[in-house]
Structure 1
Amino acid sequence: MPLKLLQMKNSMLYVMLLLITITSACNTRSYNTRQTRATSSKDLVAPPGMIYVPAGNVTMGTPGQNGDSTNMKKYRLSAFYMDKTSITNKQYRQFVYWVRDSIAITDYLNNKSYFQRMRTKDTSAKANINWDKVGDGRSIWRSKNYKIIDKLRPMYNQGDDNQSGNGELNKKILNFRYETSSADKSKSGYSVIKEVVNVWPDENVWDRDFPNSQNDLMVKSYFTNPSFDDYPVVGVTWKQARAFAAWRSKVWKAYNYKMKNPKLISLTMDLPTEAQRAYVSIPSVITNEVSIKDSVSKKKIKIKKVINPLQSGDSAFTYTMPVTYLPPNKFGLYNTVGNVSEWTLNTYTLSWEAFVHKINPVLLYDAKDSDPETLKRKVIAGSSWKDQATQNIPERQPEIQDEAKSYIGFRCVMPAPDFNPGKSNFKTINKNSK
């Protein structure tokens, strides 16, 4: 499907995700991470930044009235790949810049040199962007060619919107279109849901979450300043997180198509389910067994508690910290407890276990903007930098899907085949995504 401009009253520009389809994926911008350690076996290689999580069981449920575990159920999870860390500011900026550059090339520059050569005589077909030519976008945005500068001028804030006086990019036009499928028993088994999402994170969450507090540095610098490159991205809604996963899936599939490596698996990435997130939430520091309460039902259950280093008095960080600052857990995952809470795929309800299967459970409802807030609630997992020093592991919290917070980030997962790692056929390699 080609990229096209959707005309709307507010002149907002939408970018079609399917620009980088598998059939035209010989050229695409890379998804880069810093010295990614990818898990490999004889038969498969993990996507950059992800590691293999073997199949296993996880016990979840609503505690009984007396705080016992009679209502707890065991669920079986297939193997999957998961990001070692929360998505960082630097990684999320790659997504934002891809959207920015796509809009600039297709809707403003209209320069044939930025597009792939057509291999068809069909005059109605549109060429796709040649990302090898575009590179990281510097040739566009740092160009001194007055023709390029003049064509891109409408992409910047004008008049009163240009508050800094330095020619800021109009963030309102950075909109991204993607598609997801959802189960639909009334039709053919599933339906396609089309979403249009503005991709720029909400930088004002620091002031909104903590009024009457000095947060100017975080508001103005946290997402854009390279000093915070390796910190978790925040201010991202549930739909923005899913949009990132959809974009990254296409980039990964395009890379696989280009490499033609049978060890690479091209499946769709998404947010982890609540069960997947609970399965891997093994902290680095655990203390004695305690009684806690569910955040909504207030029922108690015996579990262990974890020390949140950001609030224990031993941390050098007031807010978030670099995603690999603390050691990983037994799965090799960083900050599954602490730093930032993370979006999951699941819809939040107290009776969720009555609706899910015992194998790979998930309860997902794609709420519309017009739906009431009760239908928009999603599960966030893990404690964050703002929580108390001793934060309980299984406590699940609801959050409205279109609300952005300074303490909520996300990471992605991708399905993987089950196999026995074993020392003979399972190893860790250093890999940069190119």
Structure 2
Amino acid sequence: MILSKKIILTLATGVLFLTSCDSTEATKQTIQSSEPTVEDVVINEPDTVIEGMVWVPGGRYVIGSVDSEAKIVEGPAYEVILDGYWIDETEVTNAQFAAFVEATGYKTVAERPVDWEELKKQLPAGTARPHDSLLRPGSLIFEPSEIANLYDISQWWKWEVGADWRHPHGPNSTIEGKENHPVVHIAFEDAQAYAEWAGKSLPTEAQWEVASRGGAAPKPFAWGNELQPDGAYLANYFQGTFPDNNTRLDGFATTAPVKTYPPNGLGLYDMIGNVWEWTSDWYRPDTHRRNSEIASTKGCINPNGPSSSFDPQNPLSPTRVTKGGSFLCSDQYCSNYRPSARMATAYDSGQEHLGFRCVVILAEN
């Protein structure tokens, strides 16, 4: 599904790109893969310890779908060879992001007026400029109502002037008391800016997916073959009738504090559920198919995604891969609470269920 600032034009112009969580095959792409050989891969944990981060050993891993019910864009499964890397133990929290803003004075995309000249590049030619009131700073919030069509996302996503990371559900909301919740309403450039300030980077899709599995062999869910082993809720996702009747059986209607649920085998929290997380990869629906071809010939070493994006359902908007699902993922709608799940997300858009975490790559001495 694509969530984008284009939703703000719905009332003004009648233009809205509606998509499901599925995609189809795309045109040709170039998959970038580093040139080092397998012998160059950094495997062992360095002596340096980075507080708040977990080491993922380098080596051979399988990514992509191992679930027969997965969407076509998630497969096939194939082997990647990765350098070892550090990854944040948790999603970046409100407190951590506040420290960044305090130090730099940074303003997120949601806190800036909408750039109409940039936005209209993502719209059909001739789209009329909306009223200035629709171009004021804001972001997308989840506002469910009784619905008739699960593929019409405008029924539960609302452009809210004044919604941003400090005000996750609009100008009258606050993050006070939620310092340890994941920061949300973060556009791609916001996540990049934080990562650069922190001396880190955003994970590639391969790095993110390997970390999400916690060092275990690929299975449909990060923790095994069942969504609820022994009836336990192991992540923050939607229960009830989506989108207007959340029964909150996992304890939360929106974000949960980080570390609420058990960590995975590597000691990482909330890799599944809570909020979607940015990766550095451009989105294309056939990335895994093309990477698998590379893997079968010369080996897929440290893949870092295609050189440009393409989504046939939203061809005018540059999109990045987001992973992990969120508190809104439901088995009635998209069931994206799986490591292999991948979503195309417009680079310029923040939402109430979108955050990030970072990685550190240590060059071999």
**TM-score tier after normalising by the smaller chain length:** 0.5 to 0.7
More displaced 10-residue stretch of structure 1: 91-100 or 204-213: 204-213
Paired residue type of 1:45: V
1:393 paired residue number: 339
Change (3 A) 1:95 1:56: same
CA distance in 1, matches of 2:257, 2:75: 39
Give the structure with higher Rg (CA).
Answer: 1
CA distance in 2, matches of 1:70, 1:98: 42
Paired residue type of 1:395: A
1:132 paired residue number: none
Confirm or deny that 1:82 pairs with 2:87. yes
Task: Please say if residues 141 and 158 of structure 2, whose CA atoms lie closer than 8 Å, have aligned partners that are also in contact.
Answer: no
2:276 paired residue number: 341
1:237 paired residue number: 187
Change (3 A) 1:382 1:212: closer
CA distance in 1, matches of 2:168, 2:346: 26
Paired residue type of 2:225: K
Unaligned runs of 5+ in 2: 1-44, 114-136, 144-153, 229-234, 240-247
Confirm or deny that 1:43 pairs with 2:47. yes
Number of residue-to-residue matches in the alignment:
246
More displaced 10-residue stretch of structure 1: 275-284 or 71-80: 275-284
More displaced 10-residue stretch of structure 1: 207-216 or 312-321: 207-216
1:409 paired residue number: 355
Paired residue type of 2:170: V
Task: Please say if residues 78 and 417 of structure 1, whose CA atoms lie closer than 8 Å, have aligned partners that are also in contact.
Answer: no
1:311 paired residue number: 238
Higher strand fraction (1 or 2)? 1
SS of 2:103 mapped into structure 1: helix
Q: Cα offset for 1:218?
A: 3.1
2:322 paired residue number: 380
Identity %: 25
CA distance in 2, matches of 1:226, 1:82: 27
Q: Cα offset for 1:345?
A: 0.7
SS of 1:227 mapped into structure 2: coil
CA distance in 2, matches of 1:81, 1:51: 5
Task: Please say if residues 320 and 346 of structure 2, whose CA atoms lie closer than 8 Å, have aligned partners that are also in contact.
Answer: yes
CA distance in 2, matches of 1:290, 1:225: 34
Change (3 A) 1:375 1:172: closer
Confirm or deny that 1:56 pairs with 2:59. yes
Change (3 A) 1:408 1:392: same
For the aligned residues, what is the CA RMSD?
4.2
Higher helix fraction (1 or 2)? 1
Unaligned runs of 5+ in 1: 1-40, 104-170, 174-200, 250-268, 292-302, 420-434
Specify which structure has the bigger relative contact order, considering alpha-carbon pairs within 8 angstroms and separated by 6 or more residues. 2
Match of 1:205 among 127, 135, 141: 141
Q: Cα offset for 1:80?
A: 0.4
Q: Cα offset for 1:65?
A: 10
Q: Cα offset for 1:212?
A: 8.0
Q: Cα offset for 1:365?
A: 4.1
Task: Please say if residues 204 and 219 of structure 1, whose CA atoms lie closer than 8 Å, have aligned partners that are also in contact.
Answer: no
Task: Please say if residues 209 and 406 of structure 1, whose CA atoms lie closer than 8 Å, have aligned partners that are also in contact.
Answer: no
SS of 1:378 mapped into structure 2: strand
Deviations 1:294-342 (A, max 9, x none): xxxxxxxxx9353444434532211110011112111110000111110
CA distance in 2, matches of 1:212, 1:397: 19
1:276 paired residue number: 207
Deviations 1:133-190 (A, max 9, x none): xxxxxxxxxxxxxxxxxxxxxxxxxxxxxxxxxxxxxx549xxxxxxxxxxxxxxxxx
